[in-house]
């Protein structure tokens, strides 16, 4: 065969090869399969790395908290780094595919008047599927820090006023809106969100306020209480001694006269603030404000306050959230808390704080202010600015 014939035959063979479409899909799949498998493998290995890092972070927190607690109790200046390292490495050994895990515990540092200790780890996780892309390992790491301080075991007793006057709209704009709505719906103008549906009313004033987003005093108290519970939760998370360092008790009070009524225990002191939060959401308005029996009850409930060095000798505080208006046997006899009624609590060393809701003049429920309507029934059920409502 001549050279020219050979060239011609090769050219024909190449032409036929280019024209032949048989097996094209298989070839294209083969060419694309490697990157597709690599992407799927990356997702799997990334999930493994995320899980491994979460486990190592938890182990680091636990090791550092445990060693920090031991150092504080022993009065040591430094945390035992070898103890932290041993506990963390034991947890790291249980993580599948982990190589070259290392941890560095830093010396205790002083910031202000507080001592802190931190630790940092690095580790290498062997990959399973992305090795076909040339990636044979994934680097992970984390850092944790704790504050070293002696615990002050503390109980906080939150006492919430649920008297009927807590149904007053909390702002001037809210009272004006409530007056307009009560006149339109029930035929009488009232800025007091009475929680009892009176005869002839289409709905209670409290239902009108709640339906129309009018904030009442009791809602102000609920919001403040939840904020305090958030603060307690933050304090619990910032101590190496666990949530039991700070506990919260929740109580409500109302009454029928200066000597009738008292405190109702909603939640005894607990470290789980969610239990108290559930009770806050379900508060119900009752009758009148009665400070004297409440203070007497709380003196017995709280007992003596100590320095808080152990869980059995706790430091104790009582926080009262109220509208600042005590009730006698009629609305013409009212006052704020009598300091003499607090004497027993103070003698027991209990820290007492009283917070009043913001005072807003009850302009709509007093005959000297012109009404749009004719009924003034609710003037007999709500305190007014003329009676020194110091809320």
Quickly state the pLDDT bin for 387 (edges 50, 70, 90).
Answer: very low
pLDDT tens-digit map of 1-56: 555 565 566 566 656 656 655 555 555 545 445 555 555 556 677 888 889 899 99
What mean pLDDT, rounded, does the chain reach? 79
DSSP character at residue 213: T
pLDDT tens-digit map of 56-87: 999 998 898 888 888 887 778 889 999 999 99
Which tokens sit at 269? 């002191």
Q: Are 368 and 322 in contact (CB under 8 A)?
A: no
The rounded distance, in Å, linking the Cα atoms of 261 and 295 is 10
User: Across 11-25, 147-161, 174-188, 363-377, which has the greatest mean pLDDT?
Assistant: 147-161
Sequence ranges of the domains in the chain: 28-148, 154-387
Q: pTM of the full predicted structure?
A: 0.62
pLDDT at 246: 96
The rounded distance, in Å, linking the Cα atoms of 116 and 109 is 5
Reference 108, options 129, 127, 74, 81; nearest CA is 81
pLDDT at 370: 37
The rounded distance, in Å, linking the Cα atoms of 79 and 64 is 8
The mean pLDDT of 304-324, rounded to a whole number, is 92
Buried b (16+ CB within 10 A) or exposed e, 171-197: eeebbebbbebbbebbebbbbbbbbee
User: Across 85-94, 235-244, 365-374, 375-384, which has the greatest mean pLDDT?
Assistant: 85-94
Long-range contacts formed by 300-307: CB under 8 A, 24+ apart: 301/157, 301/249, 301/251, 301/263, 301/265, 302/155, 302/157, 302/345, 302/348, 302/350, 303/348, 304/348, 304/349, 304/350, 305/348, 305/349, 305/350, 305/351, 306/349, 307/152
Residue 272 predicted with pLDDT over 90: yes
Query: What stretches of 59-166 adopt beta strand conformation (E)?
Result: 98-105, 109-111, 114-126, 137-148, 154-161
What architecture is the 154-387 domain classified under in CATH?
3-Layer(aba) Sandwich (3.40)
pLDDT at 327: 57
Which tokens sit at 296? 């007497």
Reference 64, options 106, 122, 94, 114; nearest CA is 106
Residue 139 predicted with pLDDT over 50: yes
pLDDT at 135: 75
- The fraction of the chain above a pLDDT of 90, given in percent, is 33
Residue 164 predicted with pLDDT over 70: yes
**Across the strands, what pairs with 250?**
158, 267
Query: Would you list the DSSP string of 309-325?
Result: SBTTB-EEEEEEEE-S-
Q: Are 164 and 288 in contact (CB under 8 A)?
A: yes
């Amino acid at each position: 065969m001549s050279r020219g014939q050979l060239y011609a035959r090769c050219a024909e063979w190449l032409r036929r090869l280019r024209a032949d479409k048989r097996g094209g899909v298989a070839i294209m799949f083969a060419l694309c399969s490697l990157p597709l498998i690599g992407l799927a493998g990356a997702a799997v290995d990334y999930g493994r790395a995320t899980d491994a890092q979460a486990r190592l972070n938890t182990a680091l927190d636990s090791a550092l908290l445990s060693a920090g607690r031991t150092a504080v109790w022993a009065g040591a200046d430094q945390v035992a780094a070898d103890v932290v390292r041993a506990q963390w490495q034991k947890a790291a050994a249980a993580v599948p595919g982990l190589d070259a895990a290392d941890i560095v515990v830093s010396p205790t540092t002083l910031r202000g008047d507080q001592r802190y200790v931190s630790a940092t780890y690095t580790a290498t996780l062997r990959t399973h599927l992305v090795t076909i892309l040339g990636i044979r390992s994934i680097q992970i790491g984390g850092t944790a820090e704790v504050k070293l301080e002696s615990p002050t075991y503390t109980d906080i007793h939150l006492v919430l006023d649920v008297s009927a006057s807590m149904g007053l709209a909390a702002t001037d704009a809210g009272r004006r809106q409530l007056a307009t709505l009560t006149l339109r719906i029930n035929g009488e103008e009232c800025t007091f969100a009475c929680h009892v549906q009176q005869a002839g009313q289409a709905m209670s004033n409290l239902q009108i306020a709640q339906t129309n987003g009018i904030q009442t005093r009791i809602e102000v108290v609920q919001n403040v209480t939840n904020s305090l519970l958030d603060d307690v939760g933050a304090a619990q998370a910032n101590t190496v001694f666990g949530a039991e360092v700070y506990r919260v008790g929740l109580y409500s009070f109302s009454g029928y006269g200066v000597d009738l009524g008292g405190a109702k225990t909603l939640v005894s002191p607990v470290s789980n603030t969610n239990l108290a939060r559930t009770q806050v959401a379900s508060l119900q308005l009752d009758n009148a404000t009665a400070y004297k029996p409440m203070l007497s009850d709380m003196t017995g409930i709280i007992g003596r306050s100590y320095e808080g060095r152990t869980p059995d000798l706790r430091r104790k505080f009582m926080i009262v959230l109220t509208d600042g208006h005590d009730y006698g046997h009629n609305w013409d006899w009212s006052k704020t808390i009598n300091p003499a009624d607090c004497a027993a609590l103070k003698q027991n060393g209990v820290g007492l704080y009283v917070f009043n809701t913001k005072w807003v003049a009850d302009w709509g429920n007093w005959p000297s202010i012109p009404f749009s309507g004719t009924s003034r029934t609710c003037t007999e059920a709500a305190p007014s600015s003329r009676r020194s409502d110091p809320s």
